[in-house]
Amino acid sequence: MHKDQIRWLHVEASTKCNAWCPSCPRNQGGQGLRPGLVEQDLDTDRFREILKDFVMLDGIQFCGNYGDPVIAGSFIELVKLALKKTQKIQIHTNGSLRNTAWWQELAQLLSGTNHDVWFGIDGLKGVHEIYRQATDFDRVIENAQAFINAGGTATWQFIPFQHNEHQIMDCMRLSQRLGFKSFKVIKSFRAERAEARHWRTGEIFVLEPADVYRNKWQKPESTQVDPKDCMHLEQPGVYISASGRIGPCCYLVDQNNFESTEVLLKQLDIATMLDTTPLKSCLKNCGSCQG
């Protein structure tokens, strides 16, 4: 694959976050940072340099591996740079950062483009915060409403657990009243059964999978990854970390990251790797079982 074939970018604008979601890889079960994690924002000059490698792209997605993109101090500048290369922008956020004026400004910046901001809202007030620890439901709704009212296109993203699945329909109805374009109940590795910690007290509690998905999502360890299930192969794209390194995707960036796209594409043959020795992260997140 040549860099001219790359059609989309997955960008991590920051490894910082205000939330303490228990299954997030940036922390230890909801309390305390993961050892060795460096909190940093993607440098705008580095992003500008990387973008020179590409012709017009089909899309650019801002979604964190370890952080929330909106927390980046220069996020608006990063979006402006992205809009010089594509007219399709997707942003994933917990929505409790910034104020309504900032969200109105973002909506105005994205006006006239093909854009979608996914707000992670996992229940109503008092339930949402069980998983999205340290966020404020009222503030999320205020920010989302300000963005929508200013012309922004928004999606309500819902991760189902046993503690919130009873509120799916109520959340869907609220999303419609607020003007969200769509409501997405998503499959996520974060919804697996896990022991969690309260972000302040350290008190241990258990996150249980949603009953309606328990049997559907739990399966034996994956044994293969088909090319159609690998986003890197299905729609050629690369991942840019907050450190300014380039990798094949967010699951592999820790094991395989490079200074340039050219070096990445020459040294990392994803298709061959999947046929021979797929990495555990590929099997867990994108794999399927034989038989």
pLDDT of residue 245: 86
Residue 21: CA count within 13 A, CB half-sphere: 26
The rounded distance, in Å, linking the Cα atoms of 27 and 63 is 17
Residue bearing tokens 């956020």? 93
Q: Name residues whose C-beta falls within 8 Å of residue 166's C-beta, 6 or more positions apart in sequence.
A: none
SS3 content of the chain, % helix, strand, coil (to 5): 35, 20, 45
pLDDT of residue 111: 97
pLDDT at 258 over 60: no
pLDDT of residue 78: 98
Asked if residues 11 and 54 have their Cβ atoms less than 8 Å apart, the reply is no
Q: Which of 210, 70, 198, 201 is nearest to 133 (CA)?
A: 198
Q: Which residues of 107-117 are buried (b: 16+ CB within 10 A; e: fewer)?
A: bebbeeeebbb
pLDDT of residue 6: 85
Q: What is residue 107's three-state secondary structure?
A: helix
- Token representation of residue 211: 């009953």
What is the Cα Rg of the chain in Å? Answer: 19
pLDDT of residue 176: 98
24-33 pLDDT, tens digit each: 999 999 999 9
The rounded distance, in Å, linking the Cα atoms of 3 and 6 is 5
DSSP state of 189: G
Question: Average pLDDT in the 69-78 region?
Answer: 98
197-210 pLDDT, tens digit each: 999 999 999 999 88
Question: Average pLDDT in the 243-265 region?
Answer: 68
Distances (CA, A) of 288 to 42, 121, 202, 229, 278: 33, 28, 35, 9, 12
Confidence band of 288 (pLDDT split at 50, 70, 90): low
- Termini Cα distance of the chain: 32
DSSP state of 27: B
Confidence band of 89 (pLDDT split at 50, 70, 90): very high
Burial of 172 per CB tally in 10 Å (0-12, 13-18, 19+): middle
The beta-strand segments (E) located in the chain are 8-11, 59-62, 88-93, 114-120, 154-158, 182-185, 194-197, 204-207, 237-240, 246-247
101-148 pLDDT, tens digit each: 999 999 999 999 999 999 999 999 999 999 999 999 999 999 999 999
Instruction: Label the pairing between strands 237-240 and 204-207.
Output: unpaired
Q: What is residue 207's three-state secondary structure?
A: strand
Asked if residues 140 and 173 have their Cβ atoms less than 8 Å apart, the reply is no
Q: Which domains does the chain have, with CATH numbers?
A: 3-218 (3.20.20.70)
- pTM value? 0.89
